[in-house]
Every structure is written in structure tokens, then in C-alpha cells.
Chain A
Amino acid sequence: MAEKMRENISAMLKGIDRYNPNNLACLENYVKAQVKENVYDLEANLAVLKLYQFNPNFFQEQIAVYILIKALTNMPNTDFILCKCLIDPSYLETEIIKKITDIHQLLETCQFREFWNEVAKTPELFNDINGFHDSIRKYISYVVNITYQRIERSFLKEILGNLGEAELNRWMSLNGWREDDYDFVFIANQEENIKTKNITEKIDFESVAPVLATYR
């Protein structure tokens, strides 16, 4: 359904019509569809927050919460920040939204253990969001991918949310990671990508020839 809506919605967001509060109901339904069907459309979601910004009376906390959680699932992109800049500060301090911004903070600072603990405290907040846990695992895997050559198996298990052996193996094969020796997992060969660079200046003849010609 969300996919079908996408085209209509995108037409709705063109030009000045983007600020038309009459579109709000339709856009809110689209947010719900995204939540249910695990798809994502940042631009439409920002348009909803924009309409809330212009018309505070229409604000619906549940929709804003959905939008923020969907933004979490699109990390490492900075969508969450974009959303935060549009939400009225008085709403940012309500209990639920405050909790989600705290969770965002944990993810941004890579405190994944604490993140999973927080999620476990209020699972009902995230259960609606189809694919939430795996989306976050994808983000965590991305951070591991850029950081590690070989990582302790136990640490990896823990930051991915205390995975069992079978689940860990599934994630490893999904990411192309393999067992190194028993305690470590081989992530990727980083020596090739991350090495000391020396940038020296190269001056070719063509770039100085005109100067030499002028001052002959």
C-alpha cells in the first residue's frame, strides 16, 4: 500500500501545496503505512513535521513518535537531526519523545549495550515498527564494518543485542563476516583502505611555464 501511495504523495509535496494542512490526514496515513510495511520516505515525513510546525493544533504525538523512530532506522544518515530541528521544543520534552531522543543519543555515541537495555524496558514502543530491530542491527554492523578488522566474538554478540549463536551466525553470513579463531570474528581487511597517506605537492611544468615566460 505504501508503495502505491508514494507517487500520489510525492505529487502532493510539490511547490506550495506542501504546506496545505488539508493533506495532513493523507500524509499521516502514509506514515502509518511506512511503519507497518517497513518502507521509508524521509521527505514526506518531514512535510508532516513541517505542517505540525506551522499548525501546532494539529500535532499528533503518536505520528511524531513514529516519524522519529523511523528516522532511527535510517541511521547512519542524520535524518533524526533533521526531524528534531522541526519539532517544537515543548514537544521534545514530553516523556515519550524525550525517551526517543535519549535513545538516539545512545545510538549516535555507539552505546549499543545501553541502547538494547533501554529498548527492553519499553518494548511496546517499538513493536509496532516493522523491522525496527534488524534496521538498527544493520546500522551497528555498518559501524563495526568501518572500525574493525577482527573483533571479539563476545563483544560483537553483545552490541548486536545479545544474539544467540544461531542468530549471530546468520548476521555473520549476511555481512560476509567469518570466524577467525574461536574468540574473534574477521570483519574485513582494513589494511588496504586505512593507511597513512602522504600528500606532497606536485608542480608540473605546464603550471609554471606561463610565469617563466612572462619574466624571461
Chain B
Amino acid sequence: MYYEEIAEEDYQYGLNAGFYTGDGRQDLDYDRDFTGLPLGSGMPAPGAPHNMPDMVHDFLLYLYKAVTERNIFEIQNLYESTYAQLTDTYFKSKPWPDENEVTAVVGTRENYDVFIIFYKELYFRHIYAKCQPTIEQRCDSYANYCSLFNLLLNAKEPIAIELPNQWLWDIIDEFIYQFQSFSLFRMKASAGKLSDYEMAQLKDNLKVWNVHSVLNVLHCLVDKSKINEQLREYNSGRDPDLVADEFGKQSLYKMLGYFSLIGLLRLHSLLGDYYQAIKVLENIDIHRQPLQNLSIARVLACQMTTFYYVGFAYMMMRRYADAIRTFCNILVYLQRTRQMYHQYRTFQMDMIEKQTDQMYVLLNICLVLHPQRVDESVSSVLHEKYGDSMNKMQRLDIAEFENAFRYACPKFLSPVAVIFENDQNLAGRLDPWKQQLQVFMDEVHQQKNIIEIRSFLKLYTTISVAKLADFMKMDEKTLKVHLLAYKHKMQNMVWTEEKGKSGLEGEFLSGSDVDFYIDKNMIHVADTKVARRYGDYFLRQIHKFEELYRIISSL
């Protein structure tokens, strides 16, 4: 019944009639009488809030209608463009209408209870992004996530809702982000930076944003969607539908399952568990250029997250060759598709730009520790933007390693919900960020002699141990130890295609550009000389000239 009435309204307003007229008077006309809108008697007009702009009012109704009708295309349009526009116009620094206001506009009707949960997810996400969430809002948002996931997971049959992949990704992404944010908030408590009221609230809500419940949700979504089984079938060239049940076949569950795997990758990394981080992706084959053909290809933020965290975990595990390959894969892809995604995905651009920069910085670190030839388009950006930093690190500027790591690492978390009052020393020591930095810097310290030895070895084809010791101003015994360490550190566990699919497996390979062996007292150096590549360069020039020629001849 209500359904029909809304559909009617649709024709009069038209979904693309332009939500933002640009006319300030009309858009900000708060006193406008909503009862004048042709919404029919079914609408709870009398209770409608009087300070809600028309555009927002209409948006809520359209969104409700699109969600109810499972009109993916329309939801996507509302979510990705209208919502962002309205946020920009009306809600730059204040929250979207709350639950009561929305209830007043939409009315409690069919599917409303489902709709409002997803709306509130947006509502809280916006508060986190644009305002400072209060402790109550943090807890309420958590409660809303609980209702959302209970709704999905406790259902006897799949709930009748479809959402665009981008939105589904954002739900998982935001869920972890808010958990992360809450953990940092708790750490503030330990550092004594919260008010008494906030402390009291925090102690009353120890169960809120608990690491177990976050892990539990992600694992349950993975299980419910049978995504691992589906991926295994897909990888061996069979039809994933054969192993998926009614839940797994539905896009909503399937994609939430997939995104939960990526969510787990991120969560494990934030907790310093790099082994699990890589292991959780064992059924996702990220090494074999699946970028273009996976259905997730449209959710750029998901791909960024995947490659960033996989690369980071490899770096921490001292699998530099794998880290370098992972970062290069995504960075080359980003360069090639830059034009495309710049046009239609503006609303997450800041995050994507930042994460791209971070990946360049991480790649830079890996290349200083493990020099290798990489794709030319990537290495030219590295030299242009991060050449200084690279030089400093090569000259063993330890502080520069620390700065680079500080900038590019994720915001690590402490999983423990304990609050240490009035013990700032302890809180500082427990800072999980410091712990991971320490592990990384220990590694850098272990490798700094190697960087220096490499710079000498480059100049020789053979050199005696005694002579090199002389150059390095150390005795032969010490040098021999460093040479052994050089060989040990340059052997990386590297993932190889034949070895099967798990990203954890691999074999020890030396990817070093300057390699050597010792025979008696003589060091025999073998370096890898890569001749300049002309092919790409000429091809690019050919295309360029052809383009020029075309333009000129059309003049």
C-alpha cells in the first residue's frame, strides 16, 4: 500500500531531478511546510521534523524505497553521489538526522526495521568522519553493528536485501575502523587524558568493542557465506555455486564474506599477527594478476587495503622480495587506472592518495634493504618523490628509517581492554606502535653493515677479505661475520608459483643485485647488470607521435 504511494511520488520528483539546486534560499528553507508535499496520507507528515531540508527529506524516502525494492543501481547512485553531495551541503560538521527524525519521515512500515539499521550505520559513520564521537555515540554505534550482524547472521533464510559492493565494503571497513578508534580511545584513558565522566562510562562498558566480538563477527560472516569453500572451487576452475548454500549464493552474504577475509587480514596486522594475516587469505590468489578480472575490482578501497596489508606483513616477516612484488603490483595498477578512478570515485580519494603514498614509502624501505629492479613507471615515481629519503637511508641515516616507518605503518592496536590509571609509564611502554617499530628497527640495525658492504662490493669482481676489512676499518674476523650475515639476510623466503597457493609458503632465494661467495680468502663478486630497456620508451614515443600527427592533420 505504502509502496504505491511512494512510487507515485517518484514520477513527480524524478530521481535525477538534481538534489542540490544551488539555490540557497530554497535549499535552506527550513520552515517550509512539509505537509504540502504530495506524499499521501500514509506519511507521518505531522511528526516530520521542521528543520530538515527538503533534499534530505526526499533522500531518506528514496533511499528507503530503493533499499526496499532492492534496486541496486539506484542505491548505488544515492549512496555514492547524492549522499556525498548532501553531506557536503548540509552536514559538513553536524550529524545527519537521527533515528527519531528518520522514523518521522519514513514511518514505521514494511522493512523499516531493516532499513533503519543500515541507515544508522551511515549515520554513525558520518559522525566518526566529520564530528568527534562521544562515548555514548561510540557505544550506540557498536550496538547498531550488533543489531546489523545479528540480523544477518541469525536469519533462518537470507534477508531480502541487496547493497552495492562499495557499501558492503564500507561496512566492514568502518566496523574495524571504529574498533581501532575505540582501542586508541581506551589507550588515552590509560594515559590519563579522559574526563572522569568518560572514564566512568568506559568502565561500565568494558564489553563494548571487545576484540573477541569483532573477531567473532568477521569469522561468522566468513563461515555463513562459505566464502573459503567458494574460493577454493573458483580457484580450481569449478563453479562456486555448487558449494554455496542459499546464503552464499546471495551477493550480500558472499561479498560480506569476502570483505571479512580482507577485514581479518587488516585486523590481524593491526594486532601484530602477520602470520595469521597472510594465512587468512590463503584462498585468495593475489599474486597472479587477478586485479582486472575479479568482481571486487570495482571496490578500489578494498584492493588498496588488501595489497597494503599483505605487503606490510611480508615486510615485517623479512620477505622483502614478496613485499616488493606486492606493492609494485598495486602501484602499477593504480598508475594505469588513475584516469579512470579519478573521475567517478571522489569520496574516498583522500584515503586512497594517502595509502598510495604510504605504499611508495614502504616500497622504498624494502628496496633500500633489498635492492631490486622494479617496474620503470614505479621506480621513476620513487626517484622523483622519495629519492631524498632513499639516499638518506642508503647513507644509513637510522632516523630516516624510523620516520619512514612511522609515516607508512598502520595504526597498531592493543587488544587488551584493561585500563591502567595513573601509570603513564606503563601506558607508554604498552604502546603497541612502539613494539612494532622496535621489531622493525632491530632488523634495520642488524642490516646496516650489509648496506655498507654492498657499496664496496659493487666496485669489484674479486677482492680479498683482508683488503675489504682494511677499507671498512675492521679486523678480518669481524668482517667475516658481517659477510655471513650479508648472505643470510639476502636470502628471502619467496613465494613461488609452483609451490601452491598459500602466501605463507615459499623457498629461500637470493634476490640480491650484488651477490658473492668466498673461496678461501678471496671474495668473488657477482652482480646483476640490467641493460637499459628501450622497448617501452620507444613504444611510448611512437604512440605520442602518432597522437600528435593525428591532431595536426585534423587541424
Interface check B316, CB cutoff 8 A? yes
Complex: chain A residue closest to B523, CB-CB: A147
Interface check A10, CB cutoff 8 A? no
Task: Please judge, given known A-B contacts A78-B318, A89-B435, A143-B488, whether A196 and B219 are in contact too, CB under 8 Å.
Answer: no
Distance of A199 Cα from B516 Cα, bound (Å): 18
Q: Which residues of B contact A200 (CB under 8 A)?
A: 531
Q: Is the CB of B487 within 8 A of A90?
A: no
> How far is the CB of A47 from the nearest CB of chain B, in Å?
9
> How far is the CB of B190 from the nearest CB of chain A, in Å?
13
Q: Is the CB of A85 within 8 A of B316?
A: yes
Near B by CB (< 8 A), chain A positions 145-202 give 146-152, 155, 184, 190-191, 194-201
0/1 interface trace, chain A 75-87, chain B, CB 8 Å (1 if under) = 0111001101110
Near A by CB (< 8 A), chain B positions 248-295 give 271-276
Q: How many residues in B have their beta carbons less than 8 Å from beta carbons of A?
A: 67
Complex: chain A residue closest to B461, CB-CB: A196
Q: Is the CB of B485 within 8 A of A110?
A: yes
Near A by CB (< 8 A), chain B positions 504-555 give 508, 510, 515-520, 524, 526-535, 539, 542, 546
Q: Which residues of A contact B429 (CB under 8 A)?
A: 89-90
0/1 interface trace, chain B 108-133, chain A, CB 8 Å (1 if under) = 00000000000000000000000000
0/1 interface trace, chain B 442-477, chain A, CB 8 Å (1 if under) = 110010000000000000010000000000000000
> How far is the CB of A185 from the nearest CB of chain B, in Å?
11
Q: Is the CB of A76 within 8 A of B508?
A: yes
Q: Is the CB of B434 within 8 A of A215?
A: no
Q: Is the CB of A194 within 8 A of B524?
A: yes
Q: How many residues in A have their beta carbons less than 8 Å from beta carbons of B?
A: 55
Distance of A81 Cα from B532 Cα, bound (Å): 38
Task: Please judge, given known A-B contacts A43-B275, A198-B529, whether A53 and B517 are in contact too, CB under 8 Å.
Answer: no
Interface check B436, CB cutoff 8 A? yes
Q: Which residues of A contact B518 (CB under 8 A)?
A: 147-149, 151
> How far is the CB of B92 from the nearest CB of chain A, in Å?
39
Interface check B493, CB cutoff 8 A? yes
Distance of A139 Cα from B162 Cα, bound (Å): 55
Q: Which residues of A contact B529 (CB under 8 A)?
A: 196-199
Q: Which residues of A contact B439 (CB under 8 A)?
A: 81, 84-85
Interface check A97, CB cutoff 8 A? no
Complex: chain A residue closest to B432, CB-CB: A89
Complex: chain B residue closest to A20, CB-CB: B212
0/1 interface trace, chain B 474-498, chain A, CB 8 Å (1 if under) = 0000001111110111010100000
Task: Please judge, given known A-B contacts A46-B275, A78-B493, A211-B542, whether A85 and B435 are in contact too, CB under 8 Å.
Answer: yes
Distance of A77 Cα from B317 Cα, bound (Å): 9
How many contacting A-B pairs (Cβ < 8 A)?
153
Distance of A196 Cα from B271 Cα, bound (Å): 42
Give the residue among B418, B439, B446, B519 with the most A Cβ atoms within 10 A. B519
Contact of B542 among A155, A203, A215 (CB under 8 A): A215
Q: Which residues of B contact A88 (CB under 8 A)?
A: 430, 435
Distance of A191 Cα from B276 Cα, bound (Å): 39
Task: Please judge, given known A-B contacts A16-B216, A89-B430, whether A56 and B418 are in contact too, CB under 8 Å.
Answer: yes
Q: Which residues of A contact B276 (CB under 8 A)?
A: 46, 50
Q: Is the CB of A109 within 8 A of B317?
A: no
Q: Is the CB of A150 within 8 A of B487?
A: no
Interface check B387, CB cutoff 8 A? no
Complex: chain B residue closest to A43, CB-CB: B275
Give the residue among B222, B429, B442, B517 with the most A Cβ atoms within 10 A. B517
Interface check A111, CB cutoff 8 A? yes
> How far is the CB of A84 from the nearest CB of chain B, in Å?
6
Contact of B517 among A54, A77, A190 (CB under 8 A): A190
Interface check A126, CB cutoff 8 A? no
Distance of A19 Cα from B218 Cα, bound (Å): 13
Q: Which residues of B contact A214 (CB under 8 A)?
A: 546
> How far is the CB of A154 from the nearest CB of chain B, in Å?
11
Distance of A197 Cα from B482 Cα, bound (Å): 24
Q: Which residues of B contact A111 (CB under 8 A)?
A: 481
Q: Which residues of B contact A53 (CB under 8 A)?
A: 271-272, 415-416
Contact of B519 among A77, A190, A199, A201 (CB under 8 A): A190
Complex: chain A residue closest to B549, CB-CB: A215
Contact of B430 among A85, A90, A109 (CB under 8 A): A90
Interface check B223, CB cutoff 8 A? yes
Distance of A53 Cα from B461 Cα, bound (Å): 50
Q: Is the CB of A77 within 8 A of B493?
A: yes
Known A54-B416, A146-B510, A207-B535; further 6 A-B contacts with Cβ < 8 A: A15-B219, A78-B319, A81-B443, A89-B430, A111-B481, A155-B480
16 contacts between A and B (CB under 8 A): A15-B223, A19-B212, A54-B212, A81-B443, A82-B275, A85-B436, A88-B435, A89-B435, A90-B430, A109-B485, A110-B481, A111-B481, A147-B517, A196-B526, A201-B531, A211-B542
The 8 closest A-B pairs by CB, nearest first: A190-B517, A110-B484, A149-B519, A85-B272, A110-B485, A16-B219, A200-B531, A147-B487
Binding site for A on B (CB under 8 A): 211-212, 215-216, 219-220, 222-223, 271-276, 316-319, 373, 415-416, 418, 426, 429-430, 434-436, 438-439, 442-443, 446, 461, 480-485, 487-489, 491, 493, 508, 510, 515-520, 524, 526-535, 539, 542, 546
